[in-house]
Structure 1
Amino acid sequence: MTRLPIPALSLTLALAACATAPTPVARTGAARAPMPYTSVGLERVLGQSAAGLTQLFGDPDADVREGSARKLQFGSNICILDAYLYPSGNTEPKVTYLDAREPDGSAIDRASCVAALTRRKEAR
């Protein structure tokens, strides 16, 4: 049997400690495809001001401002809707983009979320 000098043995052991087995990834179900971006069903929301959104959904659950941009968040037990408002020239900020998700973060159709939030205000 060949004996390795102590420095070589130490180096071999140090390098072996760096090697790791790949970590298995747990699969919780089939991967979902991203929701297609369409404005169908969003006509009541796109282009609205903050006042228009409040009239449609009630008071926002969050109101975040960054510079001239603004994000209003509306939520229910069905979904969470983020409405992004940006000014155009000297006009007040209007909704130019919407994002929707289920409370657990899963994707949901934005128009379905708008409909659910509209019903939320009617139930109050």
Structure 2
Amino acid sequence: MKHAINACALALILAGYVSAPPARAQTRQPAPVQRTAPPIPVRPAMGPRGLEAVMGKDVATLKRLFGEPRLDVVEVHGRKLQFVGKACVLDVFLYPDGKGRTEIVTYVDARRSDGAAVDRASCIDALQRR
């Protein structure tokens, strides 16, 4: 009996040194996230003050105003036209409107040929006069 008590005591002492394997935390897979592209702007994204000649206009109107563009880049959701004159370079960005899907101007950027910023309205005016 003495040996049985000693064996039990030894077993209890050894059991204290051995740790149980760590419990696994239940992990859940996150639900799949559906990502969609942001909606395409259908109205001019900036105020038209001084830009009335181009904001909301289509490609045909721009070509009548400025002639043939130096660049005509068709992108996934829109189009970029670039017109160049002595005074400046004008980048015009067109996106489909919500109704007939006609591409209209929603943003305009202007710069000098060296990259320095130029007033957009002044650039539009200069390109119309050439």
Aligned AA for 1:45?
V
1:110 to 113, 120, 124: 120
Q: Does 1:79 pair with 2:88?
A: yes
Deviations 1:87-107 (A, max 9, x none): 023421000000000111001
1:91 aligned residue? 101
Give the superposition deviation at 1:38. 4.9
Which whole-Å CA distance do the structure 1 matches of 2:88 and 2:60 have between them?
Answer: 21
Work out the percentage of aligned pairs sharing the same amino acid.
52
Structure 1 moving runs of 4+ over 3 Å: none
Deviations 1:46-103 (A, max 9, x none): 0000001001101101000012300000001110000000002342100000000011
Extract unaligned runs of 5+ from structure 2. Answer: 1-45
Q: Which has the larger radius of gyration?
A: 2
TM-score (norm. length: structure 1) = 0.64
Extract unaligned runs of 5+ from structure 1. Answer: 1-36
Which whole-Å CA distance do the structure 2 matches of 1:66 and 1:112 have between them?
Answer: 27
1:53 to 62, 78, 81: 62
2:101 is paired with a residue whose SS is coil
Aligned length: 84
